[in-house]
Amino acid sequence: MGLVTVNDRTLLQAGAMLREGKLVAFPTETVYGLGADATNGQAVARIFEAKGRPQFNPLIVHVPDVKAAEEIVEMDDHAWAVASTFWPGPLTMILPRRTDCPVSELCSAGLPTLAVRVPAHKMAQALLKEAGVPVAAPSANASGTISPTTPAHVAGSLGDKVDMILAAGPCSVGLESTVLDLSGEEPVVLRPGAITAEEISEVLGRPVAYDFGDHDKPKSPGQLLRHYAPSAPLRMNAVDLAPDEALLAFGSVKFMGVKGGGAAKDLPDHAIRNLSEEGDLNEAAANLFRMLRELDVPENRKIAVMNIPDSGLGIAINDRLRRAVAGSQEKES
């Protein structure tokens, strides 16, 4: 379908496409976003595939208003104060996920937090209302290229990897949103943007620090490494299992045996998950963080992961697994 101008008809189509799990690029006042239904793990996985991101960075989830934000994250008084001053607008807040949060864990990249934003752009507002689901959207460009501020940039960077591009002229801000982390002890700006730390600190009545780290990478990779790591030690490329190991499978487990007798397929429910029985990397990406969490229970001393092909989304899956291995070794030592 490609590039279409925004009007009542195309907005209706775009909303339906999002609900069907398709990718829709859309304008916001900051930059164009590459949107997918945030509650649909496979649709979210497709975002990483389209951008060619070799890593699962957490994504911003877009909602039409504070009420919708409140359904997915825990909003305390600080979050409310910031939201009522700056939303809708070019500001993203990192907040704890609600326990009943319907957003795919792939959006959080395994973190207990979620980035949420209410964009001000009229067309973004209209699309979010039409879609009726929270919309995960990174900037609509291929990984490693600059963020797009015109529909032509999006088309040039992503082309036919996106199902629809809603075109509405250049973005007025032209710079990605300010990312404010309110999930820790102190409020911290992780990415600078049109709304400054000084403005936020006036609203909160306390100092707000900047902590940029690596642009486009979440704060303090060391800290994240631990977040991503299950507490059970993890091993990759397993071809058989030790008796105390749980299995994170990929594809057929027919020939997987447990040392000392038994077959992997007969493991108790807490000890086996299959990322994708069909060997589909998109499905595997969508299941990764949830299944790691489900296997990381006290009954399982260790987790063995079957080989996952190192191509397409497999590159990002293996990157995450290697970090989990490193994280669990760090914990052991």
Interface residues with ligand TXA (CB under 6 A)? 28, 30-31, 33, 57-60, 92, 94, 108, 111, 113-115, 117, 137-139, 176-177, 179, 190-191, 216-219
In a 13 Å sphere around the CA of 211, the CA atoms on its Cβ side amount to 14
> Based on CB atoms, which residue is closest to Mg ion, 145 or 172?
145
Q: How far apart are CA 290 and CA 103, in angstroms?
A: 11
Is residue 174 within 8 Å of residue 31, measured between CB atoms? yes
Among ligand TXA, Mg ion, none, residue 94 binds (CB under 5-8 Å by kind): ligand TXA
Binding of Mg ion by 274 (CB under 5 A): no
Q: Tell me phi and psi for residue 65, to 5 degrees.
A: -160, 175
In a 13 Å sphere around the CA of 213, the CA atoms on its Cβ side amount to 13
> Based on CB atoms, which residue is closest to ligand TXA, 108 or 300?
108
In angstroms, give the least distance from the CB of 140 to Mg ion.
9
Rg (CA), the chain: 21
Q: How far apart are CA 157 and CA 52, in angstroms?
A: 11
Residues 137-166 that bind Mg ion (CB under 5 A): 139
In angstroms, give the least distance from the CB of 90 to ligand TXA.
6
In angstroms, give the least distance from the CB of 183 to ligand TXA.
7
Is residue 319 within 8 Å of residue 236, measured between CB atoms? no
Among ligand TXA, Mg ion, none, residue 59 binds (CB under 5-8 Å by kind): ligand TXA
Among ligand TXA, Mg ion, none, residue 110 binds (CB under 5-8 Å by kind): none
Alpha helices per DSSP H over the chain:
8-19, 41-51, 66-70, 77-86, 105-108, 122-131, 151-158, 197-204, 221-228, 281-295, 313-332
> Based on CB atoms, which residue is closest to ligand TXA, 72 or 241?
72
> Based on CB atoms, which residue is closest to ligand TXA, 36 or 291?
36
Q: Which residues bind Mg ion (CB under 5 A)?
A: 139
